[in-house]
Each structure stands twice: as structure tokens, then as C-alpha cells.
Amino acid sequence: MGVLRIVANLLAPDPGAVAAFYRDLLDLDVVMDHGWIVTLAAGGNMVPQLSIGSEGGAGAPMPDISIEVDDVDTVFARAVHRGHEITYPLTDEDWGVRRFFVRDPSGNVANILMHL
């Protein structure tokens, strides 16, 4: 038996609005839209992962989702420019990532990161 994919499912009263938030912030593509659920994707192959933790690191609360990008500074600037709530500042962490947390329109917190 092999795991083919792990999908994050975020609860949202307005899936279209939250999908637009992530689509616009991260340049994702809509690959499925049934109205009650919208699935976004990026090209390329990804390794399925599942993180389980007691905190988000550095004493931060556990985020709802972590999204690795290739240029966290650009995504951070985009989030600030659009007035999104930053719940953890852009930080270079001791364990080798540069990251920030942003709240989506439904209140979910996304950890946006890149490896240094």
C-alpha cells in the first residue's frame, strides 16, 4: 500500500472566497469546483506529508496548514499589500526556514515558508 496524495481540507463558509484568497496569494490553479468545495493545485510533483505537533515552533500556535513556496518574501509582500492579517512575522528560524503566518478569510492560519 502506498500513499498517493495528502490533501488539506479547510472549513470555510464561503469556499469560493477562501479559494480566491489562496489562488491570488500563491498563484494556484482551480482544478475542481463543485461550489461547496473548491480544490486548488500547483504544478509539479510533491511528496505527501503529514505534520503533527504540540505547537507551531518558536512558541507560536500551531497553524492550520503549512505551504512551502520558492520565494516567501514575494508572498509576504503580496499578503501585506493586500491587507491580510499577519499573525506571525516574517522570521528566519533556527531550524532553517524563513516563514510567516497569515489568516485567511475563514480564520484559518497558514504557515507560508521556504527552506533557507
Residue at 88 is within a domain: yes
Residue at 22 is within a domain: yes
Residue at 51 is within a domain: no
Residue at 54 is within a domain: no
Residue at 1 is within a domain: no
The answer to whether the beta carbons of residues 100 and 76 sit under 8 Å apart is: yes
Residue at 76 is within a domain: yes
Number of domains in the chain: 1
Residues 6 or more apart whose Cβ sits within 8 Å of residue 45: none
Q: Cell for 77? A: 509582500
Residue at 47 is within a domain: no
* Sign of the CA dihedral with 56 first, then 57, 61, and 67 last: negative
At residue 15, the 3 state secondary structure works out as helix
- One pLDDT digit (tens) per residue for the chain, 116 residues: 889 889 999 999 999 999 999 999 999 999 999 999 999 999 989 898 999 999 999 999 999 999 999 999 999 999 999 999 999 999 999 999 999 999 999 999 999 999 99
CATH of the domain at 30: 3.10.180.10
